[in-house]
Amino acid sequence: MDHSLPLLLLVDVLRQTASTITAELAEAAEILQSTAEDAPAHTGGTPGLRRPTVVVLGETVAAPVGVVHSLRPHSADLAVVVTATPATEATLAALPLLFSSDAVRRVEAGATARRITHVVSELLQHLSRRQAHAVAQAAAQQRLSSSTSIDRQLGERLLGQFLAQAPIGVLMLDGDAVIAWNQRAADVLDLTEPDSVRRPVTDLFPEDQRTALHCHLTAPGQRRNAEPDAVFERVRGDGTSQALRVAVRHVLDTEGRSRTLVLTEDVTDRLYAQRKLAERTGHALLTAEVAAAMTAPGPLDQRLHRCLRAATERLGVDRLCIWGLNTRGELVHAVCTEDGAESPDTSFCKTTQRALVEQVVAAGRPHLDVPPKTDPHDSQPQDGCGSFAAFPLVSGGELLGVLSLTTHLALPGSVLSTLENIADQIAVGTQQDRLLNRLSEATRALERPLLPPRLPDLPGFDLAASYAPFSRGLHIGGDFYDAFTAPDGRHVLALGDVCGKGPDAAAITGLVRHTLWAGAQHTSDPAHVLDLVNNALRRQNAPFCTLVYVVIDTTHTPARLRIASAGHPAPLLRRANGDTAPLETRGALLGVLDTAHHPVTEVEFRPGDTLVLYTDGFTEGAGAAHQREFEDLAAILASLSPAGASASAEYVATALMDDARRWWGERLRDDLAVLALTALPTTTGAPPPAA
């Protein structure tokens, strides 16, 4: 026997297949034929230390899973190729859960001898490379151990096999000097030989972090004020920022000397996502605060001050100003975050901002002087300069003034977008105060931010909406809807109704809608998002809200709908064959209970199916005493197109809206809002024609 070659053991393999394998691989391995009973005798030894061996189980092996277990495959030195048959298919399905593909590979029954030979050859090469790597590693370790000029040992000897291969960074310190690290730590902290050997670990972090890191590394565990795991930030070699979670453990090395073991995990993306979620939530709350301030009673100056104070606190900017245009069209400095002090200093605004603000007035569009941000995790401007931004206050096509901002921070796009929304709200509120005879137009301007400016384009689906507030003038409806795609790739639909009408309801509607969006940036899961909305309403002591929330999961075929309802009318589902019925969805109102339960209903959404969400104006448009049954709406939806055909979403939404107006007539006393979603046939990418 030639033990210098890997062993290839053919167990009950068909003669033709065995001949092909032998002809192709005779020079690459020692080939033996065996029965299932004798196979363990050829593969004995300690896993990881045995002769590299590939075992091929033929189609006639009665219990291949039992044979695999008896061989105890190990990705370092023993791999198995199993031939599946209809009789063994069910039991073989569990093998991928027990062994990696490096250890056990499966080929289907009837596979050609050449295909099986190719799989066997791949595994032989894999085991040979593993063995060569282990030999080289052992030789390198031996040289390090025998050398007196190198006091640092890499890998398994000093850190141990588990830590050397760990998915988190591991460093070993002698005092505060780095003497060993694993590969993950090298990747995360840009460690190289020999430059990083004996380098103080604090040198890997900026100066403002070193004192805190030193205290974290040296403080006794029982007296450590900070948490055992703390997050420190540094700058990578490419200039981008990085956040690391650092944990400290004290161990003994192989010679009994005390060492400090530092575990590091890169949490940059996680920390950034948490900050973005907090930022989005803060922006949503700021938008709601500005909406509430601008629709509250009282003098305009006081309401503008409330807006500026809220924006300054939420965004952390240095100065916000509002400039107005008087009746002669002249630019006037109206209010500023400095106002209200004993000696307000507005000279800075008038000397440094006026020329820029005049440019905004002349051009009628925003002016942005913001340093570029090359690192998305860094809020500081790259060149040390501050930022200036100014947005025109426009309402009803009329320029009313300018909102200007100065700060030492770099402004990301999300802040600029929020400022633009705030400018719109301030403009609307100013127009309300200045033009009493146009209050109805200002009301519509307040309603518009409560609905998406346009519906998103959802590939594979046709989406449409229709909205009709009950009254005009000073009254603002409480119905709202939204549709967007979450970062996890799932589409979200939401439609709801806030208790009450008018400006207060609009503010709460804005809070609900923006909280929905902000919550879905972390995960679109209904339980997570509805809990956030419920908590936001409870915190504001706001009126209750009904809501239906739908997640469209396109990772399945067909797509799946996950629907949660908070006291909202049951959605309607029309199947492609014409069958239509309300969906069973139940859940507590939002803003009523501290902890509300919202069960999720999951249904398949096949091509040709249509989902309809609607507010209670369709069933209780003339009051609770005159209710319309859900089944009535289902019958209308079923009649819009014949079985086997589907109407466009726009047609469905319009038809239901027209029917509601005809049904209630002059008795209608509520808002109407409807969302319609149709799954397009897989053979076409365009919405179907109207029925």
Domain ranges in the chain are: 7-135, 156-266, 277-447, 451-679
Which of residues 400 and 604 earns the better pLDDT score?
604
Please determine, for residue 535, whether its predicted confidence score (pLDDT) is greater than 50. Answer: yes
Supply the pLDDT for residue 377.
47
Supply the pLDDT for residue 253.
61
- Where b means 16+ CB within 10 Å and e means fewer, 566-586 reads bbbbbbbbbbbebebebbebe
Contact 476, 443 (CB under 8 A): yes
**Which tens digit of pLDDT belongs to each residue from 169-216?**
888 888 888 888 888 888 888 888 778 888 999 999 998 888 888 888
Looking at residues 301-312, what average pLDDT do you find? 85
Closest CA to 418 of 272, 306, 301, 290: 290
Please determine, for residue 156, whether its predicted confidence score (pLDDT) is greater than 50. Answer: no
**Which tens digit of pLDDT belongs to each residue from 317-369?**
888 888 888 878 888 888 887 644 444 455 667 666 788 888 888 888 888 87
Please determine, for residue 401, whether its predicted confidence score (pLDDT) is greater than 60. Answer: yes
Q: Tell me the pLDDT of the chain averaged across its residues.
A: 82
- CATH number at 451-679: 3.60.40.10
Q: How far is CA 3 from CA 7, 19, 50, 74, 120, in A?
A: 8, 22, 11, 19, 18
Total length of the chain: 691
The percent helix, strand, coil of the chain (3-state, each to 5) is 40, 25, 35
- Where b means 16+ CB within 10 Å and e means fewer, 73-111 reads bbbbbbbbbbbbbeebeeebeebeeebeeebbbbbeeeb
Is 230 exposed, middle or buried (CB count within 10 Å of its CB: 0-12, 13-18, 19+)? middle
Query: Which two structure tokens, joined as six digits, stand for 127?
Result: 């085991």
CA 109 from centroid of its chain's CA atoms = 42
Looking at residues 214-240, what average pLDDT do you find? 72
Which of residues 434 and 490 earns the better pLDDT score?
490
What backbone phi and psi angles, to 5 degrees, belong to 407? -160, 155
C-alpha to C-alpha distance for 395 and 416, rounded to whole angstroms: 19
Which of residues 258 and 289 earns the better pLDDT score?
289
Q: In this predicted structure, which of 376-385, 449-458, 589-598 has the lowest mean pLDDT?
A: 376-385
Contact 287, 295 (CB under 8 A): no
Looking at residues 267-286, what average pLDDT do you find? 82
What backbone phi and psi angles, to 5 degrees, belong to 140? -65, -40
Closest CA to 67 of 22, 30, 35, 33: 35
C-alpha to C-alpha distance for 611 and 560, rounded to whole angstroms: 12
Which of residues 606 and 142 earns the better pLDDT score?
606
C-alpha to C-alpha distance for 304 and 446, rounded to whole angstroms: 16
Question: In this structure, which topology does domain 7-135 adopt according to CATH?
Answer: Rossmann fold (3.40.50)
Res. 531 pLDDT band, cuts 50 70 90: very high
Supply the pLDDT for residue 153.
40
Closest CA to 360 of 329, 386, 391, 334: 391
CB neighbours of 414 closer than 8 A, spacing ≥ 6? 276, 279, 280, 283
Supply the pLDDT for residue 297.
80
Supply the pLDDT for residue 155.
43
Supply the pLDDT for residue 546.
93
Is 294 exposed, middle or buried (CB count within 10 Å of its CB: 0-12, 13-18, 19+)? buried
CA angle 344, 353, 294 (to 5 degrees): 65
Q: Count the Cβ atoms, other than its own, within 10 Å of residue 453.
A: 6
Which of residues 470 and 58 earns the better pLDDT score?
58
Question: For residue 54, what are the β-bridge partners?
Answer: 8, 79
Closest CA to 323 of 423, 445, 441: 423
Supply the pLDDT for residue 445.
58
Supply the pLDDT for residue 1.
60
Query: Which two structure tokens, joined as six digits, stand for 46?
Result: 């300690």
C-alpha to C-alpha distance for 233 and 570, rounded to whole angstroms: 49
Supply the pLDDT for residue 208.
87
Please determine, for residue 490, whether its predicted confidence score (pLDDT) is greater than 90. Answer: yes
Please determine, for residue 552, whether its predicted confidence score (pLDDT) is greater than 90. Answer: yes
Supply the pLDDT for residue 139.
60
Res. 249 pLDDT band, cuts 50 70 90: confident
Supply the pLDDT for residue 383.
43
Supply the pLDDT for residue 645.
64
C-alpha to C-alpha distance for 595 and 568, rounded to whole angstroms: 18
Q: What is the DSSP string of 373-416?
A: -S-TT--S-TTS--EEEEEEEEETTEEEEEEEEEESS---HHHH
Q: What is the DSSP string of 619-667?
A: HHTT-TTS---HHHHHHHHHHTS-TT----HHHHHHHHHHHHHHHHGGG
- Indicate the SS3 state at residue 488: coil
Q: In this predicted structure, which of 58-67, 412-421, 422-431 has the lowest mean pLDDT?
A: 412-421
CA distance between the termini of the chain: 80
Q: Which amino acid is at 169?
A: G
Supply the pLDDT for residue 608.
92
The reply to whether 277-447 shares the fold of 156-266 is yes
Supply the pLDDT for residue 478.
78
C-alpha to C-alpha distance for 391 and 414, rounded to whole angstroms: 15
**Which tens digit of pLDDT belongs to each residue from 649-688?**
999 999 999 999 999 888 888 889 999 999 998 754 445 5
Supply the pLDDT for residue 558.
92
Contact 324, 400 (CB under 8 A): yes
Q: In this predicted structure, which of 314-323, 368-377, 542-551 has the lowest mean pLDDT?
A: 368-377
- CATH number at 156-266: 3.30.450.20
- CATH number at 277-447: 3.30.450.40
Supply the pLDDT for residue 22.
93
Q: Name the strand (E) or helix (H) holding 125.
A: helix 113-146
Q: What is the DSSP string of 80-121?
A: EEEEE-TTTHHHHTTHHHHS-TTTEEEEETT--HHHHHHHHH
